Amino acid sequence: MVTAVLRGLIAAALALPVLVLSPTPTQAAETAETLPLAEAVSRLPLGTESRDGYSRDLFRHWNSGDDPADGCNTRAEVLINEAVEPPTVGAGCRLTGGLWWSYYDATWVTPASNLDIDHMVPLAEAWDSNASTWTAQRREAYANDQGSAQSLVAVTARSNRSKADQDPAEWLPPSADMHCRYAAQWVATKRRWTPPADTSELTALSNLADACPDQDVTYEPAL
């Protein structure tokens, strides 16, 4: 009798549909990681670079930002978020007043029109590495990335234009005291979006890591 009951339960269980549990958004999300700068540099993949086919227009920016309802584009949202003294936000997201610290050249800046929003790893550098293989949507996400405070930086126009599309083997901030921070933010951005680094770039970053033994890198991979 017991055997017959058990057989019936087993048969009923086998007849039930198989339920596949998908991970929740929290489970699926990548978590932030903090590493010493030297270790983070060692994890950058070595690659070659090519500028073939590059156009800045292939990275759509500035888009409507993280909050399309606020009427501000990505540039304005970054300026608002990074202001030491917040600007007044007027109609059409016109910014007046405010105060910013351009860490590249250790300079206080006002008004907002004197600032550029620098892509920590320039669009051309990203393209040279592997963004040429990305979808248009991923390139747009990269160009407007506010998911990490390190990806977009408000700095003086002159320092941004001095940097242009150069990597750390070719350019570092005029303020030498900021080299460790800059290297960490560069590596964090590369680790976040996974473009490789070429030989000269890796050498420069390794030298910076040696000079910055106490510098950590925190990044969260882009989804």
For the chain, domain boundaries:
29-219
SS3 label, residue 201: helix
Looking at the DSSP assignment, which residues form a beta bridge with residue 195?
Answer: none
Query: Is the separation of the CB atoms in 181 and 31 below 8 Å?
Result: no
pLDDT in the model for residue 171: 98
pTM equals 0.85
Examine the pLDDT at 154 and tell me if it is beyond 90: yes
| 129-144 pLDDT per residue, tens | 999 999 999 999 999 9
* Percent of residues in the chain assigned helix, strand, coil, to nearest 5: 45, 15, 40
Structural tokens at position 177? 């005291």
Query: Is the separation of the CB atoms in 162 and 118 below 8 Å?
Result: no
